[in-house]
C-alpha cells in the first residue's frame, strides 16, 4: 500500500489503471515558484515537497507518492487557471503551438527519497474561439495545469 499526497481525481485514475492499492491524503504546500527557478527544478521541488508533507502526516512506514505537472511555453510556467478568463487566455497562448509538459513524481519513505521527471513535447492544433469557449463551459480547465488534461 502507498499513500497518495494528492486529492487529484486524475492521479487516482492513473493509480487505479495500474491497480495500485493506495490511500489519499490531503497536503497543503506553497506552490509559488522561486525567483528565476528553472521549470524542471520547480516541478521536482513541488513533487518532493508534497511527498514529504504526506510523509509527515502518516505514522506507518508505507511510501508516500507526490506529483506535480506544469506546462511550459516560451519559458513561462502555466499552472492551474484562476478563473475562466485565465483558462481562455492559456488556451489561446497554446493554440497552434508547441509546448512542454513537465511531470515530476516523488516517492518518500522513512529512509529514502526518489524523484523522477518526465518532459513531453505537445503540439496543439489551432483552436477556434468557439472551441475554446465550448471547452471552458465544461468546467474541465479550472483544475488543470495549462487549462487542459494530459495524463
Q: Which residues are catalytic?
A: 68
User: C-alpha 47: how far from its chain's center?
Assistant: 9
CA–CA gap between residue 33 and residue 31 (Å, rounded): 6
The three grid cell numbers given for residue 61, joined into one nine-digit string: 512506514
Cα angle 119, 121, 98 (rounded to 5 degrees) comes to 140
CA–CA gap between residue 20 and residue 14 (Å, rounded): 9
**3-class SS of residue 9:** helix
CA–CA gap between residue 112 and residue 104 (Å, rounded): 17
Helices 84-94 and 129-137 pack at an angle, to 10 degrees, of 140
CA–CA gap between residue 102 and residue 40 (Å, rounded): 7
Amino acid at each position: 500500500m502507498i499513500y497518495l499526497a494528492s486529492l487529484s481525481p486524475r492521479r487516482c485514475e492513473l493509480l487505479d489503471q495500474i491497480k495500485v492499492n493506495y490511500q489519499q491524503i490531503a497536503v497543503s504546500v506553497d506552490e509559488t515558484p522561486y525567483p528565476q527557478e528553472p521549470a524542471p527544478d520547480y516541478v521536482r521541488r513541488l513533487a518532493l515537497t508534497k511527498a514529504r508533507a504526506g510523509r509527515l502526516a502518516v505514522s506507518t512506514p508505507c511510501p508516500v507518492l507526490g506529483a506535480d505537472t506544469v506546462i511550459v511555453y516560451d519559458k513561462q510556467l502555466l499552472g492551474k487557471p484562476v478563473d475562466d478568463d485565465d483558462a481562455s487566455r492559456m488556451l489561446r497562448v497554446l493554440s497552434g503551438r508547441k509546448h512542454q509538459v513537465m511531470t515530476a513524481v516523488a516517492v518518500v519513505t522513512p529512509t529514502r527519497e526518489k524523484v523522477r521527471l518526465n518532459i513531453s513535447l505537445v503540439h496543439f492544433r489551432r483552436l477556434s474561439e468557439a472551441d475554446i469557449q465550448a471547452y471552458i463551459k465544461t468546467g474541465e480547465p479550472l483544475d488543470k495545469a495549462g487549462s487542459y488534461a494530459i495524463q
